[in-house]
Amino acid sequence: MAELFTPFSLRSLTLSNRIGMPPMCQYSATDGLANDWHVQHYGSRAAGGVGLVIVEATAVLSEGRISPADLGLWHDGQIEPLARIARLIDSQGGVPVLQLAHAGRKASIGRGWEAQRTLGVAEGGWTALAPSAVAFEGYAEPQALDATGIAQVVEAFAAAARRALRAGFRAVEIHAAHGYLLHQFLSPLSNLRTDEYGGSFANRIRLTRDVVAAVRAVWPPELPLLIRLSATDWADGGWDAEQTVDLCRLLKTDGVDLVDVSTGGLLPGVRIPAAPGFQVPFATRVKREAGLPVAAVGLISEAAQAEAIVANGEADLVLIGRELLKNPYWPLQAAQALGVAAAWPLQYLRALPAGTPGRA
Burial class (CB in 10 A: 0-12, 13-18, 19+), 352: middle
Catalytic option among 27, 42, 139, 180: 180
Q: What span, in angstroms and rounded, lies between the C-alpha atoms of 65 and 1? A: 42
Active-site annotation holds for 348:
no
The secondary structure of 242-290 as a DSSP string is HHHHHHHHHHHHHT--EEEEE---SSTT------TTTTHHHHHHHHHHH
The Cα–Cα gap between 307 and 311 comes to 6
Contact 139, 109 (CB under 8 A): yes
CB 352 within 8 A of CB 359: no
Distance CA 278, CA 210 (A): 30
Strands (E), the chain: 8-10, 13-15, 19-21, 52-59, 71-72, 95-101, 129-130, 143-144, 171-176, 225-230, 258-262, 294-297, 317-319
User: Is-contact 4 306, C-beta < 8 A?
Assistant: yes
Residue 151 CA to residue 210 CA, distance in Å, equals 9
Q: 191 CB contacts (<8 Å, ≥6 apart)?
A: 131, 132, 184, 185, 197, 198, 204
Residues annotated as catalytic are: 180
